[in-house]
């Protein structure tokens, strides 16, 4: 099967250059027309200039930033456009026209003064709506939360184009008909719009119309902490694409014995966290974060490292544990930063050995084996494919930061693997690339696009009727979206989202779980038998793909460890340049995998072993590796995770009690800066 060429996108630099030239040419033509004067050219040049502005705001925001850096922002361009129209009007008739048009010029100047005033007041309003604490799943109505101002009042470029359009149109009409009254009417309308917008914003600065101030919000937050009395939290900081690292720990956290909370640092991340009933607090400033020291919070669970992690580690009253967002043989799974935490929770003995061999400063006594509670629901192996179709999940990882060619198979082997799998008429391929694919190496992004086109081309060659479950899937999708998605107005800010995403209704979490299970069943039932799938959306989740797959093809990544929970066959692509023996020695987690070379010549034999278990020589090795990587099946991982939470909470309480007792003995109580009386640590639930 030959690859279908992917059309190359137009170079962005060329497109930006064309837009810039078009706008400059329009202004030049407008200047020439104003000086001649030439009314048709003036009209055409102004129309082209306005149309180009609209196109810029719709499709080329990057060019706008370039203009702004060159001190040619929207205000300058709009003033120049109107000024040239005024010059044209003055050049059209007798010499005494200056006295006729002087009031119009004054009106234009007043409009631009109002525009600047609106922008200044808009900044003040935005500051009053930038709260020190952002929440979700918490009733914060006492903070006087309100809907955000209209988007038009908050974006100067859009506002100037909209409010200034009547004035520009009036000047054009005056030039065409040589009637100043048209210009006066247009400028008057623009002034009225600007005054209305300014008034609407000024009203929001009234004491009873703006949200609570910083000190009031902080006092409310302290009171909420004292009332809710959290015991264990998930701490997360990162970029938008990294939210999956936190989301995979939501369900285990929701099921712990205690009162969980999610602590974030970036405001945008509040909306990136998946559907959950756990209270979420975002504390952007370090000074606000430090207020957790005087709360009942005992343990923070960290699924990733970030620059802001060091800030929360400074809180001595909280114990910190690193759980990672997946385990593999890559160096990132034994990062030296892990020694900064009080404990490191791993899935099984293999990770404990990995830290010992890496000698990164993590002591064995601080490593706790908890299993992977997310995997408790993964369906175990139930035999070879029952029907005519063998479902293969190809889930490669991303290219990583270090440039190692063995990180991802997408670049060197992805297309070969996909072609080999698609060549088998009995294979249904599920392609689920890592969310960060192509974020570092453009070659990975380009290979990913080619792989997708290969799959689409293969689907075009397969025909067959679609199942009749599309209507049911659509109904379940709407139901799941209703339960998991907040309905925001266009342009809603963080304050408005806090207002909408208040405390959840009782039983919502259980309803979401039921709706998700029903949706996943309906989704897989709605697909034509044998149709390949490119899966990049949040749904279906990776573990749902595990359940329907008969075989996994991946790289050296945590996906292998997680898939082992099913004990189904899996293969690993070797793009490291090592021989197979050296590859297995370097990466112990592939000991139970079929190793595929970049040319993918081992795919037919691999599929044969999947379809005929008697030819599968790795079944026992998978069972043994599962035990090493994930630990024993009993007690369940969630139970082991809960035990680890309880024990670390107990350690935190004992530590705080010892420190308080020691300080009390050394200094008078009046001199101690310690916690408030209402934040004594609660005992962990049993």
User: What structural domains and CATH numbers belong to the chain?
Assistant: 13-131+149-205 (no CATH), 229-375 (3.40.50.2000), 390-460+471-485+492-630 (3.40.50)
- State the Cα–Cα distance between residues 405 and 556, nearest whole angstrom: 12
C-alpha span between 264 and 383 (Å, rounded): 43
The CA–CA distances, whole Å, from 453 to 6, 9, 196, 446 equal 7, 15, 52, 11
Kindly report, residue by residue over 519-548, the tens digit of the pLDDT.
Answer: 999 999 999 888 999 999 989 999 999 999
pLDDT at 393 over 60: yes
Distance CA 686, CA 231 (A): 13
Length of the chain counted residue by residue: 686
For residue 2, is pLDDT > 80?
no
Tokens encoding 487? 């309905």
CB 350 within 8 A of CB 588: yes
User: Phi, psi (5° rounding) for residue 393?
Assistant: -100, 115
Give the integer Cα–Cα distance in Å for 190 and 195.
9
Instruction: Specify the pTM.
Output: 0.81
Place of tokens 């009162």: 259
User: What sign has the CA pseudo-torsion 464, 469, 471, 477?
Assistant: negative
Check whether 625 has a pLDDT greater than 60.
Answer: yes
Strand 533-534 versus strand 594-596 pairing type: unpaired
Confidence category of residue 5, pLDDT binned at 50, 70, 90: very low
Q: What is the pLDDT, as a whole number, of residue 3?
A: 38
By the 8 A CB rule, do 513 and 532 touch?
Answer: no
Alpha-carbon separation of residue 485 from 148, 320, 482 (angstroms): 19, 31, 6
| Among the listed residues 234, 87, 67, the one whose alpha carbon sits nearest the alpha carbon of residue 175 | 87
636, 377 Cβ separation under 8 angstroms: no
Instruction: Tokens for 360, please give them.
Output: 């990164």
Q: In the chain, what is the greatest distance between 2 CA atoms, to the nearest angstrom? A: 102
User: What does the pLDDT read at residue 1?
Assistant: 35
The better pLDDT of the pair 73, 673 is held by: 73
Enumerate helices (H) and strands (E) in the chain, giving the number of each.
26, 14
Distance between CA 231 and CA 242 in Å, rounded? 25
Confidence bin at 139 (pLDDT 50/70/90) = very high
Kindly state the average pLDDT of the residues 597-614.
95
- Residue 6's pLDDT is 37
**pLDDT given for residue 79 in this prediction:** 84
Cis peptide upstream of residue 631 (ω within 30 degrees of 0): no
Give the residue from 588, 625, 629 showing the smallest Cα distance to 346: 629
């Amino acid at each position: 099967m030959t690859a279908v060429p992917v059309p190359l996108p137009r170079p962005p630099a060329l497109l930006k250059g064309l837009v810039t030239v078009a706008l400059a040419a329009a202004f030049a033509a407008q200047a020439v027309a104003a000086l001649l004067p030439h009314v048709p050219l003036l009209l055409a040049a102004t129309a082209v200039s306005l149309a180009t502005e609209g196109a810029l705001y719709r499709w080329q925001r990057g060019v706008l930033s370039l203009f702004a850096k060159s001190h040619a922002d929207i205000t300058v361009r709009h003033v120049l456009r109107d000024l040239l129209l005024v010059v044209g009007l003055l050049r059209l008739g007798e010499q005494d026209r200056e006295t006729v048009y002087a009031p119009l010029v004054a009106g234009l100047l007043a409009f631009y003064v109002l525009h600047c005033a609106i922008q200044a007041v808009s900044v003040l309003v935005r500051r009053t709506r930038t709260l020190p604490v952002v929440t979700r799943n918490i009733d914060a109505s006492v903070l006087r939360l309100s809907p955000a101002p209209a988007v038009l009042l908050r974006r100067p470029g859009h506002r100037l184009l909209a409010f200034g359009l009547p004035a520009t149109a009036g000047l054009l009409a005056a030039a065409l008909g040589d009637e100043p009254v048209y210009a006066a009417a247009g400028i008057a309308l623009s002034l009225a719009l600007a005054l209305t917008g300014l008034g609407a914003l000024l009203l929001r600065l009234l004491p009873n119309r703006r949200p609570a101030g910083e000190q009031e919000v902080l006092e409310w937050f302290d009171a909420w902490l004292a009332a809710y009395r959290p015991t264990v939290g998930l701490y997360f900081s990162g970029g938008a694409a990294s939210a999956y690292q936190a989301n995979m720990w939501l369900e285990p956290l929701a099921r712990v014995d205690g009162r969980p909370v999610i602590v974030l640092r970036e405001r945008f991340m509040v909306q990136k966290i998946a559907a959950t009933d756990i209270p979420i607090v975002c504390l952007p400033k370090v000074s606000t974060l430090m207020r957790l020291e005087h709360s009942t919070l005992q343990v923070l669970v960290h699924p990733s490292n970030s620059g802001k992690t060091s800030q929360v580690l400074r809180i001595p009253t909280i114990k910190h544990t690193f759980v990672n967002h997946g385990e593999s043989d890559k160096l990132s799974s034994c990062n030296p930063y892990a020694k900064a935490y009080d404990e490191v929770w791993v899935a099984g003995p293999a990770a404990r050995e990995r830290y010992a061999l890496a000698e990164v400063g993590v002591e064995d006594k601080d490593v706790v084996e908890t299993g992977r509670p997310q995997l408790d629901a993964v369906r175990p192996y139930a035999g070879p494919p029952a029907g005519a179709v063998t479902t293969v999940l190809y889930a490669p990882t991303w290219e990583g930061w270090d440039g190692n060619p063995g990180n991802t198979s997408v670049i060197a082997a992805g297309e070969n693997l996909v072609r080999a799998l698609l060549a088998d008429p009995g294979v249904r391929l599920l392609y689920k690339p890592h969310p960060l694919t192509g974020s570092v190496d453009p070659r990975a992004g380009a290979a990913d696009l080619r792989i997708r086109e290969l799959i689409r081309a293969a689907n075009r060659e397969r025909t067959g009727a679609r199942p009749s479950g599309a209507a049911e899937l659509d109904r379940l999708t709407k139901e799941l979206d209703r339960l998991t998605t907040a309905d925001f107005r266009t342009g809603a800010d963080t304050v408005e989202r806090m207002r909408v995403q208040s405390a959840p209704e009782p039983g919502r979490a259980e309803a979401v779980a039921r709706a998700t299970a029903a949706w996943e069943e309906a989704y897989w039932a709605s697909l034509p038998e044998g149709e390949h799938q490119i899966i990049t959306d949040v749904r279906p989740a990776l573990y749902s793909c595990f359940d329907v797959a008969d075989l996994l093809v991946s790289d050296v990544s945590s996906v292998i460890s997680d898939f082992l929970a099913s004990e189904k066959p899996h293969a690993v692509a070797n793009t490291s340049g090592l021989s197979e023996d050296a590859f297995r020695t370097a990466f112990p987690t592939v000991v139970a995998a079929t190793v595929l070379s970049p040319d993918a010549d081992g795919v037919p034999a691999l599929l044969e072993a999947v379809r005929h278990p008697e030819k599968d020589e790795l079944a026992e090795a998978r069972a043994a590796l599962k035990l090493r990587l994930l630990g024993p099946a009993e007690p369940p991982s969630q139970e082991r995770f809960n035990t680890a939470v309880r024990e670390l909470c107990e350690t935190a309480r004992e530590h705080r009690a010892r420190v308080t007792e020691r300080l009390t003995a050394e200094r008078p109580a009046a001199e101690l800066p310690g916690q408030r009386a209402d934040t004594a640590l609660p005992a962990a639930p049993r």
